């Protein structure tokens, strides 16, 4: 599947030839625009392609949400944009997609950066939130305030509700940009992890960045990271959680710039 892409910046010549293009991959319930601050921060020196995953944003919908399938979507979209090889950066679900691409098609990944996720299975969650979004009555008179109020019981965190509601299109025919049915069916794959092939590793330059207050990349998962990505550097940003690119974008950008250099 060819994914919707937003282009930022332009390719820049260096003494060693062109800098690698960058592909940005967002997390579950997000879209490429959620990584816009990162795209702009890196766009001064690189061409940055922020992709909407299948069933998210403006990309097509389809039932298969396995990471091998989503990694193939990224490779197909890179080819469509004339990109043979790129530095691939992914957050959460996008990080697992990026890892899978590096393990299945290492020739397409010049460098790999993963934000606050590990190659492990996590407890299944979010199903109650998906059901709450499914139950929302999508009538022409629906307002964002009314939608926010309707989700409040199931999603008490106002910031998380706002994140979900970025996917709601209001008007004569209100609809979710998300394919909620496909995501609900695919949730076991999305929170899980399956190695693409036993013993396969990616040996290119790799950086994992975790939030210090997040539970997604604790020290207990570092062995799983290095078993598959033996060149990985693992760093932590203090005072931030899972949404580190939104909470401390300048520090995330600074670490990515250093890694890409």
Residues marked active site are found at: 92, 181, 242
Task: State the residue for tokens 């939030």.
Answer: 211
Question: DSSP strand E in 68-225: where?
Answer: 86-91, 109-115, 168-169, 175-176, 206-211
What residues pair up with 90 in beta bridges, in sequence order? 25, 114
Mind spelling out the 3-state secondary structure of 44-72?
Answer: CCCCEEEECCCCCCCCCCCCCCCHHHHHH
What would you measure as the largest C-alpha separation in the chain, in angstroms?
58
Paired tokens of 255: 């670490």
Task: State the residue for tokens 């991959």.
Answer: 25
Q: How many residues does the chain have?
A: 261
CA distance 123 to 126: 10
Contact between 28 and 92 (Cβ < 8 Å) = yes
How far is the CA of 177 from the CAs of 61, 133, 142, 170, 181, in angstroms?
A: 9, 12, 16, 11, 12
Contact between 210 and 236 (Cβ < 8 Å) = yes
């Amino acid at each position: 599947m060819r994914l919707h892409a937003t282009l930022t910046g332009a390719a820049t010549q260096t003494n060693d030839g062109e800098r690698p293009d960058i592909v940005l991959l967002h997390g579950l319930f997000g879209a490429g625009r959620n990584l816009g601050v990162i795209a702009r921060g890196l766009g001064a020196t690189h061409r940055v392609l922020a992709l909407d995953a299948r069933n998210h944003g403006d990309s097509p919908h389809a039932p298969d949400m396995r990471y091998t399938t989503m990694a193939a979507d990224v490779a197909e979209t890179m080819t469509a944009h004339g990109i043979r090889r790129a530095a691939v950066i992914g957050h959460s679900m996008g990080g697992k997609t990026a890892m899978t691409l590096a393990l299945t098609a290492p020739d397409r990944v010049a460098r790999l950066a993963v934000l606050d996720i590990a190659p492990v299975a996590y407890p299944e969650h979010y199903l109650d939130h998906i059901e709450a979004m499914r139950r929302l009555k999508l009538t022409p008179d629906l307002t964002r305030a009314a939608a926010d109020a309707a989700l409040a019981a199931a999603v008490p965190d106002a910031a998380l509700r706002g994140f979900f509601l970025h996917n709601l299109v209001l008007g004569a025919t209100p609809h979710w940009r998300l394919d909620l049915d496909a995501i609900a069916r695919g949730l076991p794959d999305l929170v899980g992890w399956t190695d693409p092939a036993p013993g396969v590793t990616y040996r290119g330059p790799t950086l994992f960045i975790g939030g210090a207050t997040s539970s997604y990349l604790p020290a207990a998962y570092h062995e799983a990271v290095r078993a598959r990505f033996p060149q990985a550097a693992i760093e932590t940003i203090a005072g931030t959680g899972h949404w580190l690119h939104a909470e401390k974008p300048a520090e995330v950008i600074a670490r990515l710039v250093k890694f890409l250099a």
